[in-house]
Amino acid sequence: MKTAKIFSLILSAAVSSSFVTAYACNAEDKETGTEYRHEREIEYYESDHSLSTNNDGISLRRNIYNIWGTLDYNNFVEDIEYDNVIIDQIVVEFTVSGIGKDSELVKSDGTKEPYYAWLCGSVGTNSQWTLEDAGDGAVKINGDGNYTAVWNVKDASESVECLILQTNINYFPYTPKDIPDDEKKPLDGTANITVKKIKTLTEGELLSGDSNLDGDVSISDAVRILQYLANHEKYYLSDTAKKASDVFGDNDGVTAMDANSIQKYDAGVIDSLPET
Ligand SMILES: [Ca+2]
Ligand SMILES: [Ca+2]
C-alpha cells in the first residue's frame, strides 16, 4: 500500500520547506488546441558569494548550483534545490549592471567579440559548457539591462548537478584602477549579474492527473494535491495545474478525492483518468 510512502513524501517536503518549489501563477499558459505551455518557477536564493569567474579567472559568472566548485574561489553554491524536475527548457531572467553601454569583449590582441551570457552545467544526462554548446539559448549582452538565457534540454531530468550563468564579460575593465592586476578580485568591480527568476517550461499535451506538470502521472501528483489542500498559499497550484488535478467529481474542483483517484491510477486499480 502506498499510504506510508505518501506520508513520508509529505513529511520530507515539509521538512525541506525552506526550499519548496514555487508553483507560480502562469500568465503564459496558452491553450492552442491540445497544446499547452507549462511554466513552473524554481525557488532561488542568491547567496552573496555566488558571483565569480570562470576557470580563466577573467570571465564573470553567477553560480546557481555548483557543488563541484571550491569555497576559496566563491564557486561552491547551492542556491536552488538539487531535486528539480526539468523538462524542455530552463529559463533564467537576469540583470546585468555596472558595465554601462559596453557590448564587446576587447581581447589582448585588440580583436573584439560581442558580450554573451549563456547557461551551462550538467542537468541529468544533459550537459553544455561553451557558448557554442548553448547555441540559440545564449543571449547577446548590449550593456546594462535585463536579459533572458534559455537552455533547451534534450532529455527530461529530475536533478540539477550544476547550473551556472556564464558570460564572456572580462571583469578587469570594471575594477578600480588603483588595485594591482594580480590582486584584483571579481567582487572588487562594478560589473554584476543578478538572477531575477528561474523557471522551467514544458510543452505538450496536458495530462489528466499531472498536478505537478512534469509530463508524467505518478504518486508525486497525489502528494502535490494533498500539499495544496493542506496549504494553498505555500503549495500554490496554477490554473493549468488545477485543471490537470481535477480528475474526479465531474469538474467539482480540487479535492482529496482527486488525489485518491491518482493513487488508484498509479496502483493500477483504474486504468484511465479522469475517473468516471
Ligand atoms: Ca506529474
Ligand atoms: Ca475533483
Q: So where are the chain's domains?
A: 3-33+206-266, 41-202
Interatomic CA distance for residues 53 and 60, integer angstroms: 4
For residues 10 and 6, what is the distance between their CA atoms, to the nearest angstrom?
Answer: 6
Q: Which amino acid is located at 113 in the chain?
A: E
Instruction: Using the mean position of ligand 1's atoms as its centre, give its distance from the Cα of residue 157 in Å.
Output: 13
**CA–centroid distance, residue 248 to ligand 2 (Å):** 4
Q: What distance in angstroms lies between residue 41's CA and the mean position of ligand 2's atoms?
A: 25
Confidence bin at 21 (pLDDT 50/70/90): very low
Section 62-89 average pLDDT:
81
C-alpha cell at 115: 558580450
**How far, in Å, is the centroid of ligand 1 from the Cα of 30?**
19
Ligand 2 geometric centre to CA of 260 (Å)? 10
In eight-state DSSP terms, residue 223 is H
Determine the distance separating the centroid of ligand 2 and the alpha carbon of 219, expressed in angstroms.
Answer: 17
Q: 3-33+206-266 has which fold?
A: Type 1 dockerin domain (1.10.1330)
Q: Where are the alpha helices (DSSP H) in 56-189?
A: 131-134
The Cβ of residue 27 has, within 10 Å, a number of other Cβ atoms equal to 8
Q: Give the range among 72-86, 207-221, 254-268 with minimum mean pLDDT.
A: 72-86
Ligand 1 mean position, distance from CA 207 (Å): 8
- pLDDT tens-place string over residues 144-160: 999 999 998 888 788 89
Say how many Å lie between the CA of residue 227 and the centre of ligand 2: 15
pTM for the full model? 0.65
Q: Which amino acid is present at 177?
A: K
pLDDT value for 128? 95
- 185-199 pLDDT, tens digit per residue, is 666 789 999 999 998
Q: What CA–CA distances, in Å, run from 69 to 5, 56, 86, 168, 187?
A: 35, 14, 22, 19, 17
254 CA distance to ligand 2 centroid (A)? 5
CA of 78 to the centre of ligand 2 (A): 37
Burial class (CB in 10 A: 0-12, 13-18, 19+), 70: exposed
